[in-house]
Amino acid sequence: MSSINPPELRSAGAGYRVGANDRREVVMARCETCGNDYDKAFQVTMGETTHTFDSFECAIHALAPTCKHCGIRIVGHGLEKEGTFFCCEHCAEMVGVTGLRDRIGAAA
Ligand SMILES: [Zn+2]
Ligand SMILES: [Zn+2]
């Protein structure tokens, strides 16, 4: 006799990482921004949290930081200074933050 098999939660793809404390098993592919239940939804993992979206637009809406100066969503490589984000060096300078370099290549 076998114990109750868990439902097929882990068929989300080869790259799906099962962490030690995986508290959020993703069962429904429902966009957390708009609530759309979409079979081609995808997941974005930031730190310890995995988010599910049906479109990049929704992902950007939920996750992309906004520029401290002009307020646009930073979709590309932004600039960061102690948790504050800027879309470009110009915006950073406008609020008095200098010495920022583009983070391209900063991460491994
Ligand atoms: Zn959505
Ligand atoms: Zn800006």
| Three-state secondary structure string covering 25-93 | CCCCCECCCCCCECCCCEEEEECCEEEEECCHHHHHHHHCCECCCCCCECCCCCEEECCEEECCHHHHH
Cα of 64 vs centre of ligand 1, distance in Å, is 14
> How many whole angstroms from 29 Cα to the centroid of ligand 1?
10
Nearest 5 degrees, angle CA 105-CA 13-CA 37? Answer: 100
Ligand 1 centre from 69 Cα, in Å?
A: 27
Question: CA angle at residue 16 from 15 to 22, to 5 degrees?
Answer: 155
- The reported pLDDT for the residue numbered 43 is 95
**pLDDT given at position 11:** 45
| Better-predicted residue by pLDDT, 42 or 102 | 42
Distance from Cα 70 to the centre of ligand 2, integer Å: 4
Segment 20-77, tens digit of pLDDT: 555 555 456 899 999 999 999 999 999 999 999 999 999 999 999 999 999 999 999 8
Rounded to whole angstroms, the Cα distance separating 95 from 13 reads 43
CA of 19 to the centre of ligand 2 (A): 36
- What local confidence, expressed as pLDDT, does residue 15 receive? 46
Tell me, what's the pLDDT at 26? 47
Parse the chain into domains and list their residue ranges.
2-63, 64-108
Q: What is the pTM of this model?
A: 0.60
